[in-house]
Amino acid sequence: MKHLIDPTDLSKQELEEIIDLALDIIENREKYSDRCKGKKLATLFYEPSTRTRLSFTAAMMELGGNVLGFSDAKNSSVSKGETCADTTKVINCFADIIAMRHFEEGAATVSAMNSHIPVINAGDGSHSHPTQTLTDLLTIKREIGRFDNITIGFCGDLKFGRTVHSLIKALSRYKGVKVVLIAPEQLRLPDYMKQEVCDMNGVPYVEVDTMEEVMDQLDVLYMTRVQKERFFDEDEYDRVKDFFILDKEKLKNARPEMRILHPLPRVNEISTDVDDDPRAAYFRQVENGKFVRMALICKLLDWANDPTKTTELVPADAVRGEFTCRNKRCISNMENGVESLFRPAHDKSGGYRCVYCESKPK
């Protein structure tokens, strides 16, 4: 079974098939209006969402299918203590495909382990958000025209920003990609991302203190919100929340063809006076999210009947029960019955990484 838990679950070819299908859907909307007739998408959202949940809903409706699910887990039997694994087994009786957002990191992996229908990770804590990555890639394709040879600046919360982690992973497979990291000390990109993703794939990166010093070099400026909900300490959030605010003045040296992306929602990191600038692509990006989710739903439903299409959830070299995950938000620490699973880390420091959330063990 093919699931989408992390962008790297898709080969470069599969990813490009999805982008190409999304482009065809944009050009030929009518052709796809019955494509998912009789199919049901379950949207299981344990965490708030506007864009992801509603774009999945709109996507399935435009494909002629139906949608069921919940947008607040408090109204489901999760409030009685039902595990993610059991909820998934139940939903398998009702739907053909699942889109799940969860605050527990690794929840989509656990769901996929317990599912006979495709599971799409619609965001698991600060770990991964692969459909935002597909949205970002479709936007880069439509706005810039290529994935190779781009310089992309990531600005803001690079520590907790799962959309940043996922997009760097996806772009690391293309030639000539350069990454500029613009973040305060407390919100820098985690070391494992620098080592396992940038270093291992030969992606050059620099860390800078201000967006102004690199503005004229960028093809894409990817702004992010500081994620208040991921902080354990509110004072720490207050110290970093206003570090980077993009306004018209800071865009002075940006190239005319540069594009500003943001996964949204924004708080104050992009001033509203930027919205009318033709380089501001973030609301166009939202609509691309619906088209690319239409393409993803079609592909995963097609691939569900193809025995050659699989997602490796537990690598063959994973070790069982030997370590404990140090991440308090990992599903292995939050739910009963989730087996400890670690895989060898493919970075300079060696050791192992949690299969669910990618943290190193205690």
Residue count of the chain, please give it. Answer: 362
The distance of closest approach from Cβ of residue 124 to ligand CP in the complex, given in angstroms and rounded to an integer, is 12
203 CB contacts (<8 Å, ≥6 apart)?
Answer: 168, 171, 172, 177, 178, 179, 197
Site track 266-305 with ligand CP (rule: CB under 6 A), x = hit? ----------------------------------------
The distance of closest approach from Cβ of residue 288 to ligand CP in the complex, given in angstroms and rounded to an integer, is 12
Footprint of ligand CP on residues 216-245 (CB under 6 A)? none
Q: How many residues bind ligand CP (CB under 6 A)?
A: 9
The distance of closest approach from Cβ of residue 185 to ligand CP in the complex, given in angstroms and rounded to an integer, is 25
The distance of closest approach from Cβ of residue 261 to ligand CP in the complex, given in angstroms and rounded to an integer, is 11
User: 104 or 196: whose CB is closer to ligand CP?
Assistant: 104
Report the alpha-carbon distance of residue 74 to residue 117 in Å, rounded: 24
Residue span binding ligand CP (CB under 6 A) among the ranges 48-56, 137-145, 188-196, 337-345:
48-56
Site track 185-214 with ligand CP (rule: CB under 6 A), x = hit? ------------------------------
Using rule CB under 6 A, residue 132 touches ligand CP: yes
The distance of closest approach from Cβ of residue 282 to ligand CP in the complex, given in angstroms and rounded to an integer, is 10
- Using CB under 6 A, pick the residue from 264, 292, 318, 334 that binds ligand CP: 264
Cβ proximity of 294 and 137 under 8 Å? no
The distance of closest approach from Cβ of residue 49 to ligand CP in the complex, given in angstroms and rounded to an integer, is 3
- Using CB under 6 A, pick the residue from 21, 254, 263, 296 that binds ligand CP: 263
User: 153 or 263: whose CB is closer to ligand CP?
Assistant: 263
Phi, psi of 293 (to 5 degrees): -70, -30
The distance of closest approach from Cβ of residue 312 to ligand CP in the complex, given in angstroms and rounded to an integer, is 25
Footprint of ligand CP on residues 333-362 (CB under 6 A)? none
Using rule CB under 6 A, residue 33 touches ligand CP: no
Cβ atoms within 10 Å, residue 213:
12
User: 129 or 360: whose CB is closer to ligand CP?
Assistant: 129
Residue span binding ligand CP (CB under 6 A) among the ranges 45-53, 105-113, 196-204, 293-301:
45-53
CA-CA distances (angstroms) from residue 91 to 98, 100, 183? 8, 11, 40
The distance of closest approach from Cβ of residue 164 to ligand CP in the complex, given in angstroms and rounded to an integer, is 12
Cβ atoms within 10 Å, residue 52:
24
Exposure string of 228-250, with b = 16+ CB inside 10 Å and e = fewer, is eebbeeeeebeebbebbbbeeeb
Report which DSSP code applies to 260.
Answer: E
Phi, psi of 338 (to 5 degrees): -95, 115
Cβ atoms within 10 Å, residue 259:
25
Query: What amino acid occupies position 36?
Result: C
Footprint of ligand CP on residues 49-78 (CB under 6 A)? 49-52
The distance of closest approach from Cβ of residue 122 to ligand CP in the complex, given in angstroms and rounded to an integer, is 7
Please say whether the dihedral angle defined by the alpha carbons of residues 33, 38, 39 and 45, taken in this order, is positive or negative.
positive
Residue span binding ligand CP (CB under 6 A) among the ranges 1-9, 65-73, 149-157, 263-271:
263-271
Dihedral class, residue 355 (left if φ above 0, else alpha if ψ from -120 to 50, else beta): alpha
Percent helix, strand and coil across the chain, each to the nearest 5: 40, 15, 45
97-102 β-sheet, strand order: 66-70, 40-45, 97-102, 119-124
Report the alpha-carbon distance of residue 97 to residue 232 in Å, rounded: 34
User: 49 or 115: whose CB is closer to ligand CP?
Assistant: 49
Footprint of ligand CP on residues 96-125 (CB under 6 A)? 123
Task: Enumerate binding residues for ligand CP (CB under 6 A).
Answer: 49-52, 123, 132, 263-265
